Chain A
Amino acid sequence: MLEDQSGDFALATIGKVHGIQLATDEINAAGGIAGRKLELVIYDTQSDNTRYQEFMRRVLQRDKVDAVFAGFSSASREAYRPIVDQLNGLAFYNNQYEGGVCDAHMIVTGAVPEQQFSTLIPWMMEKFGKKVYTIAADYNFGQISAEWVRNIVKENGGTMVGEEFIPLGVSQFSSTIQNIQKAKPDVLVTLLVGTAQASYYEQAAAANLHVPMGSSVNVGQGYEHKRFKPPSLANMYVTTNWIEEVDDPKSKAFIAKWHAKFPNEPYINQEAENSYLAVYLYKEMVERAGGSTKRDDLRAVIAKGDVCFDAPEGKVCIDPKSQHMSHTIYLAKVGEDHSISFPKVWENIKPYWLGDAGCDLTKSNPNAQYTPSNPPPKS
């Protein structure tokens, strides 16, 4: 497991470490996978892309692990992915992201834009209006996500009244807030990343900017609604595949198990659930491959198209073409007092875009990341 236990991202990723530990303990207590116990090799990647590269080499070459659970930011994923490809490893990326990775060495359990934006943006435009403004972190995640938002807004007859890409680490937003006020959007899409940029919300609330906000990363990842004093995040809408406020018996049982093992967990976020379910998916695949941990045997199992797990969010399955997951998508609304309600739930949203665009890992493996403006080449 390569996850950030220190540095700027640690706040959102400690839960991922715990999710994998919890699933591992449960599986080992029940006899392991196909009679063998899971052994965790854990390194702290320190929110540092070069650490990912070092440790990815180390786990694949020296520790000779069978599968790696790795990565939070898209920059870190793209830093280690060539090494996984080169050393012929298998990595689980248990994080929502900007989508488009078509790589047989990767299994992605997090949600992607067609799951988070194709649901969120049309819903918000219908409810609040067609003028949309995006502020996004200035790296691959923010840029590609903003492109998705732009396309979806256009498809639904809306207009982009502004777009700004903000360098990671920026924490002062007075002029950004002023520019947004001048543009008068109906919907503000916030794709801000990291604890520095999270200061935006408090500063916007203090400047009395209260445009309805939509996001794919807030609440479900950095639990800003718990950390910030109300009402700085009020009127924010987030699509997430699970958060600890989901109120059903299965989620309640999951949370109870979690708190029994980690009583001081500040919040169980969607990436924690993604990490937890990833270990069980791995178990399912290895068992169906007759105990083999070879990547090709596991992929033969995935190709059957029915590798699923009954996760806290509901049933999730791996799409063989893209090796991404189907998800239940919850629309979480943050109230004035920062309580969460769910005005809408979309069941079983498939990660269809890569497959429709021409990525088919059962036939060929391009090891590439595609975007709407840079789709897979048509063969």
Chain B
Amino acid sequence: MFDAVFGFLYQFGDAFAFLVLCATGLAVIFGMMWVINLAHGEFIMCGAYVTVTAARAGLPLALAILCGAVVAGLVGILVERLVIRHLYGRPLDTIVATWGISLIAAQGTLIVLGPGLPGISTPLGSISAGGLSYSVYRLVLMATALAILAALYLVFNRTRFGILARATIQVPHMAEALGVDTRLIYSLTFGLGAALAGATGGLYAPTMTMVPTMGAQFIMEAFVTVVVGGADVFLGTAPAGAVLGLVKAAMTSWQGQLFGQIGLLIAVIVVIRVLPRGISGFLLRERS
């Protein structure tokens, strides 16, 4: 009995971590700036590539992941300065622009760095429970997903940057009138979203095949989670990850990967039919 429960909790935690880590970067950029970032997967790829390169150069994995996040964040700030800045208030144009960036990034990486990169192996080994064995690293990923959610909560609610960012998002011209440099805030927020994507890439890099198109493997889950969650990172992404993770883990362990995906997508359709503004939209309406 314990084994079955542990097995299911592990699968649930694994699906939850993947969904949440996929989505946080996208959710920050969408929720705070209303920019739909189709280059999200390429920021993930950037983080993963930097992480692997740094780890192979001898850095400990945790530091290497940090490098991946920082580099992806800096690239994000650069992209915001050069492209996104000129497109605020034009959500459809940001879709086209970020899609273009994503194509350029994936193909550019293929041309410059070749079709693949040797990977690094997954650290920490495995534990066994009831005749089955589980990767310890994936337990770390689950804890990291929770830690990142907690850290984001603290950043947006307990720091000056968070207060200014929320002010900028709610009433931009008033924030500006009170002396907030909103352009800087937008820039930093976009950088934060990109850095989160980079961290996700770094975290999953030891478990995946390193190819320029690897970002695409995160995109579906990222968008699905953000759509279900709605615009708020805390009230949206975390519960969406929990609901979808539960559906996915249950369906996958019952009937395999195909039904896991089908279940995930059906859950999305049901949620946006019933709650068009996502889970966070529903919670916020209840609260007000």
Contact = CB atoms under 8 A, between A and B. Distances in A.
B18 A172 contact: yes
B209 interface: yes
B157 interface: no
Contact of A175 (B135, B209, B211, B249): B249
Interface in A201-240: 202-203, 205-209, 226-230, 232
B99 to A, nearest CB: 16
A207 B141 CA distance: 14
Contact of B121 (A7, A14, A199, A205): A205
A178 B11 contact: yes
A59 interface: no
Interface string B120-143: 111001101001111101100000
A244 to B, nearest CB: 16
Q: Give the interface centre of A165, A166, A182, A206 by most chain B CB atoms within 10 Å.
A: A206
Nearest to B255: A164
B253 interface: yes
Contact of B258 (A165, A174, A181, A209): A165
Contacts of A6: 107, 110
A170 B257 contact: yes
Interface residues of A, number: 41
A169 interface: yes
Contacts of A14: 115
Interface in A271-310: none
B222 interface: no
Interface in B1-41: 7, 10-11, 14-15, 18
A179 B121 CA distance: 23
A266 interface: yes
B65 interface: no
A73 to B, nearest CB: 14
A10 interface: yes
B216 A169 contact: yes
B208 to A, nearest CB: 4
B206 interface: yes
A171 interface: yes
Interface string B198-233: 000000001111110110110010000000000000
A268 to B, nearest CB: 14
Given A165-B256, A207-B134, A208-B133, A229 B118 contact: yes
Contacts of A198: 209
B257 A164 contact: yes
A195 B211 contact: yes
Interface string A153-175: 00000000000111101111011
A171 B217 contact: yes
Contact of A199 (B15, B131, B134, B207): B207
Contact of B209 (A176, A196, A205, A207): A196
Contacts of B11: 174-175, 178
A203 B132 contact: no
A202 B121 contact: yes
B239 interface: no
A175 B213 contact: no
A208 B116 contact: no
A206 B116 contact: no
A150 B134 CA distance: 29
Nearest to B122: A206
Q: How large is the interface on B (under 10, 10 to 19, 20 to 34, 35 or more residues)?
A: 35 or more
B121 A207 contact: no
A346 to B, nearest CB: 30
B257 A207 contact: no
Contact of B217 (A7, A169, A209): A169
Contacts of A206: 121-122, 125-126, 135, 137-138, 207
B133 A209 contact: yes
A138 interface: yes
B119 interface: yes
B122 A167 contact: no
A229 B110 contact: no
A175 B253 contact: yes
B191 interface: no
B54 to A, nearest CB: 15
Contacts of A181: 131-133
A186 interface: no
B252 interface: yes
Nearest to A175: B252
B182 interface: no
A11 interface: yes
A8 interface: yes
A264 B211 CA distance: 17
B257 A203 contact: no
Contacts of B126: 206-208
A182 to B, nearest CB: 7
Contacts of A208: 125-126, 128, 133, 135
A200 B126 CA distance: 16
Contacts of A164: 256-257
A229 B116 contact: no
A89 B249 CA distance: 48
Given A174-B14, A227-B116, A266-B116, A10 B110 contact: yes
The 5 closest A-B pairs by CB, nearest first: A206-B122, A208-B126, A11-B115, A206-B135, A229-B121
28 contacts: A8-B213, A10-B110, A138-B258, A172-B18, A175-B252, A178-B7, A178-B10, A178-B132, A195-B209, A195-B213, A198-B209, A199-B209, A199-B217, A202-B122, A202-B208, A203-B122, A206-B125, A206-B126, A208-B126, A208-B128, A208-B133, A208-B135, A227-B117, A227-B209, A229-B119, A229-B121, A230-B121, A232-B121
Interface of B: 7, 10-11, 14-15, 18, 107, 110, 114-122, 125-126, 128, 131-135, 137-138, 206-211, 213-214, 216-217, 220, 249, 252-253, 256-258, 260-261
Given A167-B257, A176-B252, 20 more contacts: A8-B211, A8-B216, A165-B258, A172-B15, A175-B14, A175-B257, A179-B253, A181-B131, A195-B213, A196-B209, A196-B216, A198-B209, A199-B207, A202-B207, A206-B122, A206-B138, A207-B138, A209-B133, A229-B119, A230-B121
